[in-house]
Each structure stands twice: as C-alpha cells, then as structure tokens.
Amino acid sequence: MIALIRKISLQAAIGLISTASLLLMSLQVTAQEPTVPSVVVSTVTLQDITPQFRGIGRVEAIDKVNLLARVSGFLEQRNYKEGGFVKKGDLLFVIEKAVYEIAVAQAKADVVGTQASLKNARADLSRKNELRQKRLISQADMDSAEAQATSAYAKLLQAQASLKRAELDLSYTEIISPIDGQISRSNYSIGNLVGPSSSPLASVSNFDPIYIIIAISEKDMIDARRRGIEHLKNPTVSPSLELSDGSHYEHGGYFDYLDTEVNRSTDSIMVRAVFPNPDKILLPGQFVSVIVKQNKPISAIIVPQISMQQDQAGFFVLVVTKDNKVEVRRVIPSKQVGSDWIISEGLAQGERIIIQGIQKVRPEMLVNPVNEEN
C-alpha cells in the first residue's frame, strides 16, 4: 500500500514538472515575438477651403403696402381672412358709400346746370353778334355777352372737376389690394370710424422672392470688394443662408444692390440679396446667417495639427504604407486653417497619416492602423 502511494506521488510530481516546463517554454516564445503597436490614422482627403464671409442678415419683404383710408367714414365690410393670401384687385374693405354717392349726384346736377347756363350764354352771344353787325347794339354790350359766355364755360369746367373729385372720393370707399401677397390682421373692426388720419387698416406683403439685408463692416467690405462682391451683373461670389435651427436654406440667392456710402454711425455698408421663398420659410423681421463664398470652389489637402512634426530638416508626417509600415514623409505646409494645416506638397489623396500613437513608433516599424472613425 505504501509503495502504491509513493508511485502515485512520483507520477504527480513528474506531471507538475512537465506543465511548468511547457509554461516556461511558452513564455520564452512569447517574449521573443515582437508586439505590433496600434496607431490611429486619418485618411488624406481633398477638402473645400474656399474663402467665405459669415454675417447676420435681416429678412425684409420686397413689396409691402399699408392699406390706408383716403376718405372718412364708418367701416362697413372686411372681405378677407386675416393672414390669408390675396390677389391684386381683390376688394378688401368697404367704407360707407351713402355720403359720397350723394356728393356725386349733387356734382352731376351742378354739371347739368352749368351746361344749361353755358348754352344760354352762347345763344345770347350769337344774337348780340348779329345785332352788332347791324350796328344795333354797342361794343360794350357785345363784350359783356362774350364775358358771360366765357364765365359760363369756366363754371362748367369747375362743375366737371367737382364731379370727378366726387367720383374719385366714392371710389376710395372701396379699398382693393394693389399687389399679390399675404395680408396682416385688421387694425379696425366693422363699424369703426376711419379716415385719412387713421393708422393703416392692414398691410399686404409679398414674400416670394424676398430681400436679405446685410450690414458689412468697412474692413470686411474691403475684402469683399477684392473678391468681386460689387460685380452685380457678373458676380464672382454668391450668398447662401443658414437658418436659426442650424439647417441650410435650400435655395441660393444673388446680390442685387450695394449701398453707395458707409453708414457713419455704424461704420458699415448695406448689401442686399434676393432669395426665392416659395414655401414662405423666410418671414420679414427674421434673422438668418448669411454665408458669402466664391462661385469657383477651391480644394486642398488638409491635415490635423497633431499629425505635423518638425525637425531641423523641416516639417514631416508619419505615413502608414499599404503593408502597414511607418514611413517618414516630408511635407510643405502653406498656411494654417483653424487647428489644421493646408499641405501644398508631399501628400496625395487617399494616403494614411498617423494622428495618435506617434511617440511609440519609428520608421519602417510594422503597426496596426486603426481608422479615426472607429
């Protein structure tokens, strides 16, 4: 029995020694195999570096008409829905007509009366002319008859003018829309007394297209002139809009007016742009961000600042080749854009540069590249 126990213990000891030996051999092999470091890489791409200007613009309606009462009277009708769209020629308000219809009738009667007086004066002049030729009346009687005929004609002209004035006042009792557009709420209710001294009854605005008014500082205006903002007929720059929610306005615009002088109180100059507004997204009084860019885009290779290295020979970046080896690439930067560099020479589109893990690699080292998106 004791011999059997000794045999089992000896076998167990031999097994433990074998396991330890295998583990030691594995550690030695592992220690001999070099580790491949992981680095974060960025793929070189062409990016838009077109110069641009950003400013704040205010939206204004191209056409806005205040509807005013040109005659006095009580408001009898309002023939539209507040906030709705109206067409040119639509009847919007009616002021009481009775007083003005009476004035027209009176003016017509005056015209008829003066026409009768003129007819009588001309007949009398004709008779006295015949008597004068026969030397039966004096020249003074003849002159008096001519004066009466002339006076009667003048009164007829005055009566006809009064009739036109009365008819014009009567026409003013109907207020029609002079343009197509959206109408505001009414400032007066039916039954209110309105007149020439009253505030506008309502207003009609045309929102499509629409103006964007931009105030550009004198300094920015100098730069904008160099880029061709003032060439309105053949512009080299175009405006676009960014709305308050951060979205890009889908319609492009164009500049149609540049003020002729700088505002002395603000040291800015007013520029006006026109944008389509078919969906009525832009409303008068609204603020928008205006982005002015050159029509001809400019693209270049841009790399992050963290990828740029410098030594006595100049600037360089670390490129990961197709077989995942590190290569030192000499580059020529042109200028800095924010925290990035524009590279004029040394890199091609599609190459991979190391942006993280630079300190743990060396040229010709094999690395495990990880895309920055991941």
Q: What share of the chain is helix, strand, coil (3-state, %, to 5)?
A: 30, 35, 35
For the domain that residue 286 is a member of, what is the CATH number?
A: 2.40.30.170
- Whether 333 maps to a domain, the answer reads yes
Q: Answer yes or no: do 252 and 324 share one domain.
A: no
| 99/19: higher pLDDT | 99
Domain total of the chain: 3
Domain boundary pick from 144, 171, 198: 171
* Residue 108 C-alpha from the chain's centroid: 54
Is 68 a member of any domain? no
Those residues with Cβ within 8 angstroms of residue 85's Cβ, 6 or more apart along the chain or in another chain: 180, 181, 182, 183
Q: What is the CATH number of the domain that holds 121?
A: 1.10.287.470
Rg (CA), the chain: 46
Q: Is residue 220 pLDDT above 80, yes or no? A: no
Interval 267-306: pLDDT, tens: 788 889 999 998 889 988 899 999 888 778 788 888 888 8
Tokens for 202, please give them.
């309502």
State residue 104's pLDDT score: 96
Domain end, chosen from 294, 322, 354, is at 294
Identify the domain boundary among 279, 294, 309.
294
3-state secondary structure (DSSP) of residue 362: coil
**Is residue 32 assigned to a domain?**
no
Same domain, 155 and 115: yes
Q: Who has greater pLDDT, 110 or 256?
A: 110
Residues 273 and 328 both lie in one domain: no
Considering the domain architecture, whether residues 268 and 307 belong to the same structural domain is answered as no
DSSP result, 301-358 = EEEEGGG-EEETTEEEEEEE-TTSBEEEEE-EEEEEETTEEEEEES--TT-EEEEE-G
Range from 15-29, 77-91, 283-297 carrying the lowest mean pLDDT: 15-29
Could you tell me if 262 and 212 lie in one domain?
yes
List the single range of 41-50, 111-120, 158-167, 275-284 with lowest mean pLDDT. Answer: 41-50
Domain encompassing residue 322: 38-49+299-371
For the chain, give the mean pLDDT. Answer: 84
Residue-wise pLDDT for 185-195, tens only, equals 999 999 999 99
> Residue 288 in 3-state DSSP?
strand
Identify whether 92 is part of a domain.
no
